[in-house]
Chains A and B, each alone.
Chain A
Amino acid sequence: MEVSQTTMEPKLKTDSAPPEQKIWQHKHILDLDDFTTAEIELVMQTTKAMHEILSRPIKKVPTLRGKTVVTLFYEASTRTRSSFELGAKNLSADISNLTVSSSSVTKGESLIDTLETIEALGADIIVIRHPHSGAPDLASKHVKASIINAGDGWHAHPTQALLDLYTMLQHKNSIKGLKVAIIGDIIHSRVAHSNIWGLTKMGADVTVCAPSTLLPKGIENPQPHFPKVKVTTNIDDAIRGADVVMGLRLQLERQQNGLIPSIREYAALYRITEERLANAAKDVIVMHPGPVNEDIEIASSVVHGSRSVINEQVTNGVAVRMALFYLLTGGNRDE
């Protein structure tokens, strides 16, 4: 054995030990408001790896074998739930889907009762979609399993925002400085809220645009409780120079509640059209969480046109959810 000059070096783990990961701090994924930039970047990186799996002949890895994922959806949603389901299956987890009909709710079974039953059945991760804001937060305080918020009321939809960020990164170099216009029923949109958090944390330049009745209250002076964004009621101002234009779903009952006079007027003022997009950046991409009310939120030709990345969002949804399942595994975590 040669003994050559020795050097003072810090200790380094070998044996292909994994790079020690001190970035991820979450036991639950409830909202993006408490994610660090580093955590979001980690999700993006992990999603990339998961995305690659989806292009393999065998789209399956054994990573979550033995883990049980349960989806608990109080609102019907084939798209999002299938996305979670596929993601779990690709990671070899066992998955169970519960749709709670309104009858269980009227029977008086509380959310907490339902969760305790699910946990007793052995769930490691519970994915919840609920019409009331704060339901996943409540869940996280009462069960040992990890909770993923698949959309709660008007509050948050963190997995959607993460897949939206990932989709943007596939087309743009970085989020920092990116001009993003979010157009639609902002006040009632959990997708908008989570995107605002995620995008501002990553340094994007965000503009929200809606009729004034659909703009969130207090948005002019939001700090410290909410990120600062540009606000306008004029769609052309919002779209001008935008790198990303995101449409949002308009619930038809907004007209019934007197928030807008008619769908027709809303579409005339706020529909994302080819014409309006001419003022956006040359390589603008158009996004929407789906399902799209064609010709109300976005013109048909745009939905099916070359600028639309709406279908990619769906595929990316599976990859992002796989990444989140992966990051939530790992036992012995203090909570």
Chain B
Amino acid sequence: MWKYASSPLAGKITVRGFFMTRKIIMNEADIKRTLARISHEIIERNKSTKNIVLIGMRTRGVPLAKRLAANIELFENASIPVGVLDFSLYRDDISSQNVPPIVQSTDIPTGIDGKIIVLVDDVLYTGRSVRAALDAIIDFGRPLSIQLAVLVDRGHRELPIRADYVGKNIPSARNEEIQVYLTETDNVDEVAIIPEPGRED
């Protein structure tokens, strides 16, 4: 459980003597609007809500997928199934870590043959997580198509992967950190960046 500390000096985190200012790029309202827009885009692109299955990539893709489904239900009065995917077992970097990541449950509520899968994640970066998620989905069946929705695209792709729906493009340097917090997991809705030194404005 994280607590706020709001004071003029609060943003200056002393890290090994460097001063870094954490910049908030999207606040609660921004995120709400962006997700509403993505929900409309999904409906529009697919021309209906029939056959759509939203699958959230663990961890933060899951609450995002649920919110999108709630929006779509609100806008179209249609209930979209939401699945949860833990793609840890398909990662390409398991052996190189000291201990393998914790595997949580995967739950795809319906068959996916012939369905339109919309994968949902918080940040799209190198594209490797999406690659792993794609391999996982394919093992479940043969969807009609797979689309990708992300809240943030920060660039630096290492694989030929692109998102169909993007909340916000945040160009970033590799050594900068993008932080996505969601109420369901972190008690606050916020997207922030810790810029590299010298990039403060």
Pick the contact of A21 from B6, B89, B101, B181 — CB < 8 Å? B101
CB-contacts of A279-335 with B (<8 A): 323, 326-327, 329-333
Check B102–A9 contact: CB distance below 8 A: no
Contacts of B97 in A (CB 8 A): 18, 330, 332
Contacts of B23 in A (CB 8 A): 1, 3, 6
> Is B109 positioned at the interface, with any CB of A under 8 Å from its CB?
no
Q: Which residue of B lies closest to A46 (CB)?
A: B103
Interface string of B65-105 (1 = CB under 8 A from A): 00000000000000000000010111100111111111111
Check B102–A21 contact: CB distance below 8 A: yes
Interface string of B173-185 (1 = CB under 8 A from A): 0000111110000
Check B102–A60 contact: CB distance below 8 A: no
- The dominant DSSP class at the A interface is loop
Contacts of B10 in A (CB 8 A): 5-8
Pick the contact of A49 from B21, B86, B194 — CB < 8 Å? B86
Pick the contact of B121 from A16, A42, A46 — CB < 8 Å? A16
| A48-B192 Cα distance, complex, nearest whole Å | 34
Least Cβ–Cβ distance between A157 and chain B, in angstroms: 24
Q: Which residue of A lies closest to B97 (CB)?
A: A330
Contacts of B179 in A (CB 8 A): 9, 11-12, 14
Contacts of A53 in B (CB 8 A): 89, 106
> Is B63 positioned at the interface, with any CB of A under 8 Å from its CB?
no
Contacts of A58 in B (CB 8 A): 139-140
| A326-B25 Cα distance, complex, nearest whole Å | 38
Contacts of A57 in B (CB 8 A): 139-141
CB-contacts of B113-129 with A (<8 A): 121-123, 125-126, 129
Contacts of A56 in B (CB 8 A): 139-140
| A56-B60 Cα distance, complex, nearest whole Å | 24
Check A18–B21 contact: CB distance below 8 A: no
Interface string of B1-35 (1 = CB under 8 A from A): 01011100011110000000111110100000000
Q: Which residue of A lies closest to B200 (CB)?
A: A3
Check B123–A15 contact: CB distance below 8 A: yes
Check B91–A18 contact: CB distance below 8 A: yes
| A331-B180 Cα distance, complex, nearest whole Å | 30
| A219-B86 Cα distance, complex, nearest whole Å | 44
CB-contacts of A1-58 with B (<8 A): 1-12, 14-16, 18-24, 42, 45-46, 48-50, 52-53, 56-58
Contacts of B4 in A (CB 8 A): 7
Least Cβ–Cβ distance between B105 and chain A, in angstroms: 6
Check B177–A332 contact: CB distance below 8 A: no
Given known A22-B99, A62-B135, contact A329–B94 (CB-CB < 8 A): yes
Contacts of A91 in B (CB 8 A): 89
> Is A63 positioned at the interface, with any CB of B under 8 Å from its CB?
yes
Contacts of B141 in A (CB 8 A): 57
Contacts of A138 in B (CB 8 A): none
Check B123–A46 contact: CB distance below 8 A: no
Contacts of B94 in A (CB 8 A): 63, 329-330
| A46-B104 Cα distance, complex, nearest whole Å | 7
Check B13–A45 contact: CB distance below 8 A: no
> Is B145 positioned at the interface, with any CB of A under 8 Å from its CB?
no
| A193-B139 Cα distance, complex, nearest whole Å | 39
> Is B196 positioned at the interface, with any CB of A under 8 Å from its CB?
no
Pick the contact of A15 from B27, B90, B126 — CB < 8 Å? B126
| A42-B21 Cα distance, complex, nearest whole Å | 37
Contacts of B106 in A (CB 8 A): 49, 52-53
Check A52–B140 contact: CB distance below 8 A: no
Least Cβ–Cβ distance between A167 and chain B, in angstroms: 18
> Is B41 positioned at the interface, with any CB of A under 8 Å from its CB?
no
B residues whose Cβ falls under 8 Å from a Cβ of A: 2, 4-6, 10-13, 21-25, 27, 57-61, 86, 88-91, 94-107, 121-123, 125-126, 129, 135-136, 139-141, 177-181, 186, 192, 194
Q: List 18 A-B contacts (CB under 8 A).
A: A2-B25, A7-B22, A8-B11, A9-B22, A11-B177, A12-B181, A14-B123, A15-B125, A15-B129, A15-B178, A16-B61, A22-B99, A45-B104, A48-B105, A50-B103, A61-B136, A330-B98, A333-B99
| Nearest 9 A/B pairs, CB to CB | A6-B11, A18-B101, A49-B103, A61-B89, A15-B125, A63-B89, A16-B129, A58-B139, A8-B5
